[in-house]
Amino acid sequence: MRDFQKKAIEQIEPILESHSVFISWNEQRRPELPGLGYVEGDVDLVGTTTSEGKRIEIWIYVDELGLYVDADWTIFEQQDYRDAEDDHIREFCSHLESQLA
């Protein structure tokens, strides 16, 4: 697991817990795709749960974050944040919080 993914989980889990939403993370192995930033051993993390009747699926890629709420998909791509990794995660967490409220 990469540092970006660890940081994301550290910030996402307290938000979920504050809404009494619990998720277990599953690893999705990726083939080595150097052009897309994936190297051998990289995994995507995915967690699925329900809250207030909504199906929630969180994807934590090696450098991006995605959120499904029912059928609505929102992606937070690395290219939109360049070197601002903390802003990247913070924006995702703000969106997640608004979806759980």
- Give the model's pLDDT for residue 28: 86
DSSP lists the bridge partners of residue 55 as: 50
Report the C-alpha gap between 84 and 65 in whole angstroms: 14
pTM of the predicted model as reported, rounded to 2 decimal places: 0.85
> Residue 78's closest CA among 95, 61, 94?
61
- Give the model's pLDDT for residue 62: 86
Two tokens at 66?
């995605």
Could you tell me the residue range of the domain that residue 24 belongs to? 3-100
The segments of the chain whose pLDDT lies below 70 read 31-38
Structural domains of the chain, count: 1
Query: What is the amino acid identity at position 70?
Result: D
Give residue-wise pLDDT tens across range 22-35. 998 999 887 666 66
49 exposed, middle or buried (CB, 10 Å; 0-12, 13-18, 19+)?
middle
- Give the model's pLDDT for residue 36: 63
